């Protein structure tokens, strides 16, 4: 049996109260325990996933000079291309063995947020790259909205508690390429152990093994989803908001065995962020005598800024 529980979003979306509460219970206990679930019944089609993988493989195969032209100074890698080795996990010197792309929010009806967020970067060499990225972004955002509704109910909040904070939120879709490994990496890994910054992360099936999750016994367990499932995990923002009731679990991407060094790995996480004004102050219900308040009050925007500095993406 897999260490990661499976849930079906169709249960939640069904108008059947038993199925709905079954889903809430299953995802709630998974997030209080291992912090990860494999989710089927979401809004992302296998065709769209295949198209996006196709586009990003073509993008990362472009000449380095071409890709470098899409690395924009001064925006902390929040849109467009980030080159190999630039990001490192919190507390590490060695850069991760990866390059990646960021698609950001497509703001609607909100000039203030349009001005706050950097523009998406258009790849000119690949005519379908941007539209496929946008569609995937929006399908994952829709999926995440329902997952957060279930979590709101699990936390005894209004079902739509998160809706106002995630509308036009600062989410990021991040296609990642882990290139073939050419020489013995000195201490560096594809993605060093870390917790995600955001509310929840939705990860579509990777092309290549390697993702591992740390369980309660400090053992690394493989996290592999079926092709029709998204792996979903709690990020640090949600764990802060819930005073650690929901667990942001440490995970990593290990280097492959030597016989597979010649192969690339690709993965595409979607990091669901709220708007920067959302307070991440611990919810009252989550602060108890047994679990006193663990975190200072902070907004999502201020917290994100702190974390981007720790990752080496933003200079102090």
Ligand X SMILES: O=C(O)CCC(=O)C(=O)O
Residues that bind Fe ion (CB under 5 A): 196
Centroid of chain to Cα 297: 23
Distance CA 214, CA 196 (A): 13
Could you list the beta-strand ranges (E) of 74-141: 80-82, 99-102
Phi, psi (rounded to 5 degrees) for 251: -140, 170
Q: How far is the CB of 176 from ligand X (least distance, A)?
A: 5
Residue 177, contacted partner among ligand X, Fe ion, none, CB below 5-8 A by kind: none
- Contacts with ligand X by CB under 6 A: the residue count is 10
Distance CA 91, CA 122 (A): 33
Query: Would you say 90 or 167 has its CB closer to ligand X?
Result: 90
Distance CA 253, CA 192 (A): 7
Asked if residue 252 lies in contact with residue 193, where contact means CB atoms within 8 angstroms, the answer is yes
Query: Would you say 11 or 196 has its CB closer to Fe ion?
Result: 196
Query: What stretches of the chain show up as alpha helix (H) in DSSP?
Result: 9-13, 17-33, 46-60, 64-68, 111-116, 129-154, 163-166, 236-241, 300-310
3-state class of 101 per DSSP? Answer: strand
Member of 56, 107, 153, 211 binding ligand X (CB under 6 A): 211
Residue 143, contacted partner among ligand X, Fe ion, none, CB below 5-8 A by kind: none
Site string for ligand X, 73-112 (x = CB under 6 A): ----------------------------------------
Residue 196 is a binding residue for ligand X (CB under 6 A): yes
Asked if residue 175 lies in contact with residue 100, where contact means CB atoms within 8 angstroms, the answer is yes
Residue 267, contacted partner among Fe ion, ligand X, none, CB below 5-8 A by kind: ligand X
Residue 191 is a binding residue for ligand X (CB under 6 A): yes
Residues in region 239-298 near ligand X by CB under 6 A? 251, 253, 267, 269
Q: How far is the CB of 223 from ligand X (least distance, A)?
A: 8
Distance CA 265, CA 92 (A): 22
Closest CA to 144 of 280, 304, 274, 295: 274
Residue nearest to ligand X (CB): 267
Query: Would you say 255 or 282 has its CB closer to ligand X?
Result: 255
Residue 206, contacted partner among Fe ion, ligand X, none, CB below 5-8 A by kind: ligand X
Residue 235 is a binding residue for ligand X (CB under 6 A): no
Q: How far is the CB of 196 from Fe ion (least distance, A)?
A: 4
Residues that bind ligand X (CB under 6 A): 176, 191, 196, 203, 206, 211, 251, 253, 267, 269
């Amino acid at each position: 049996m897999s260490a990661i529980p499976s849930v079906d979003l169709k249960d939640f979306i069904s108008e059947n109260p038993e199925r709905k509460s079954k889903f809430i219970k299953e995802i709630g206990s998974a997030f209080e325990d291992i912090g990860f679930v494999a989710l089927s019944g979401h809004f992302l089609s296998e065709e769209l996933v295949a198209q996006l993988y196709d586009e990003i493989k073509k993008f990362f195969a472009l000449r380095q000079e071409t890709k470098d032209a899409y690395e924009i100074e001064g925006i902390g890698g929040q849109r467009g291309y980030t080159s190999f080795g630039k990001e490192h996990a919190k507390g590490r010197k060695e850069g991760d063995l990866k390059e990646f792309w960021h698609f950001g929010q497509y703001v609607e009806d909100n000039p203030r947020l349009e001005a706050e967020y950097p523009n998406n970067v258009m790849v000119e060499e690949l005519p379908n790259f941007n539209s496929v990225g946008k569609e995937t972004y929006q399908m994952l955002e829709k999926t995440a909205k329902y997952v957060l509704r279930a979590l709101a109910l699990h936390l005894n909040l209004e079902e739509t508690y998160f809706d106002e904070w995630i509308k036009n939120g600062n989410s990021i879709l991040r296609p990642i390429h882990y290139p073939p490994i050419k020489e013995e990496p000195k201490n560096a890994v594809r993605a060093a152990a870390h917790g995600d910054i955001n509310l929840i992360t939705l990860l579509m099936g990777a092309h290549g093994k390697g993702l591992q999750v740390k369980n309660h016994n400090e053992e690394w367990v493989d996290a592999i989803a079926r092709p029709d499932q998204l792996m979903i995990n709690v990020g640090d923002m949600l764990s802060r908001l819930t005073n650690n009731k929901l667990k942001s679990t440490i995970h990593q991407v290990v280097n492959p065995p030597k016989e597979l060094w010649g192969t690339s790995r690709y993965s595409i996480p979607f990091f669901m962020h709220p708007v920067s004004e959302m307070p991440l102050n611990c919810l009252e219900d989550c602060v108890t005598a047994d679990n006193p308040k663990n975190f200072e009050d902070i907004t999502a925007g201020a917290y994100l800024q702190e974390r981007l500095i720790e990752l080496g993406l933003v200079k102090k």
